[in-house]
């Protein structure tokens, strides 16, 4: 049975993060579904358009996911935070024992969904004040705490994505990807 990962895309997403997440998780042979909040053509924060696999409504009726992974960027992260369907998907995946993950500014959506409560988290500088329920806000590049994985920003996207592979598949697969991508081994 394959691992299913939902990557919601909102207008104003951070292109480096979205492309890295999608690419690395697909290299690990995970079933990654990109889902647009509205139209399937979604324009990122820097004008790059990605065509999502389907709309979020279609994805959510298509079955359960093992992980929901949010790229950051502004105003994309705010759109994710403000979307009731995204918040519900985050809560549902955690309740089923899956993974809720976000990078850059997108941990604000994890906060809005209530899945950060009592957990350690990191995010893009300046957004930490919005993570009010987190037990600790830190400057680590990637933080894994229970079912929640967070990361700091575009420069940490490869580390974030390979950490997700380690969590969703196994360490050997993540290490093989790190080696193939010429990425330093995980600390």
- Give the structural domain span for 23: 4-180
As a whole-number percent, the residues of the chain with pLDDT over 70 amount to: 99
Check which CATH number belongs to the domain holding 55 and give it.
3.40.50.880
Structure confidence at residue 1 (pLDDT)? 63
Question: What number of other Cβ atoms are within 10 A of residue 118's Cβ?
Answer: 10
**Cα 29 to Cα 85: distance, rounded to the nearest angstrom:** 26
Indicate if the pLDDT at residue 186 is higher than 80: no
Model-wide pTM > 0.85: yes
- Does some domain include residue 172? yes
pLDDT, mean of residues 7-21: 98
Q: What's the total number of domains in the chain? A: 1
Q: Give alpha helix (H) positions in 96-170.
A: 107-113, 157-168
pLDDT tens digits for 84-103?
A: 999 999 999 999 999 999 99
CA 161 to chain centre: 8
- Does some domain include residue 174? yes
pLDDT band for position 50 (50/70/90)?
A: very high
What are the distances in angstroms from CA 129 to CA 21, 106, 112, 117? Answer: 25, 13, 13, 14
- Does some domain include residue 60? yes
Structure confidence at residue 168 (pLDDT)? 98
- Does some domain include residue 50? yes
As a whole-number percent, the residues of the chain with pLDDT over 90 amount to: 93
Structure confidence at residue 184 (pLDDT)? 83
What are the distances in angstroms from CA 17 to CA 52, 61, 146? Answer: 15, 25, 22
**Cα 180 to Cα 177: distance, rounded to the nearest angstrom:** 5
Structure confidence at residue 56 (pLDDT)? 97
- Does some domain include residue 43? yes
pLDDT band for position 185 (50/70/90)?
A: confident
- Does some domain include residue 185? no
**Cα 147 to Cα 73: distance, rounded to the nearest angstrom:** 22
- Does some domain include residue 187? no
pLDDT band for position 62 (50/70/90)?
A: confident
Give me 104's structure tokens.
Answer: 């850059």
Structure confidence at residue 99 (pLDDT)? 98
- Does some domain include residue 106? yes
**Cα 27 to Cα 141: distance, rounded to the nearest angstrom:** 22
pLDDT tens digits for 153-163?
A: 999 999 999 99
> How many alpha carbons lie under 13 Å from residue 112 in its C-beta half-sphere?
20
Of 94, 82, 131, the C-alpha closest to 6 is 94
């Amino acid at each position: 049975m394959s691992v299913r990962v939902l990557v919601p895309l909102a207008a104003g997403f951070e292109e480096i993060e979205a492309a890295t997440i999608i690419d690395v998780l697909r290299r690990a042979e995970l079933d990654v579904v990109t889902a647009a909040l509205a139209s399937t053509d979604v324009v990122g924060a820097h004008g790059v358009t990605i065509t999502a696999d389907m709309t979020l409504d279609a994805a959510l009726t298509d079955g359960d996911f093992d992980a929901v992974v949010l790229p950051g960027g502004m105003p994309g992260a705010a759109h994710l935070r403000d979307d009731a369907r995204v918040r519900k998907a985050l809560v549902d995946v955690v309740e089923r024992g899956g993974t809720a993950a976000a990078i850059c500014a997108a941990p604000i959506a994890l906060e809005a969904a209530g899945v950060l409560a009592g957990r350690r988290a990191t995010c893009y500088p300046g957004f930490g004040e919005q993570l009010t329920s987190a037990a600790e806000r830190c400057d680590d590049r990637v933080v894994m705490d229970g079912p929640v994985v967070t990361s700091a920003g575009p420069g940490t996207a490869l580390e974030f994505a390979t950490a997700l592979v380690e969590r969703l598949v196994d360490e050997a697969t993540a290490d093989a990807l790190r080696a193939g991508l010429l990425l330093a081994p995980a600390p």
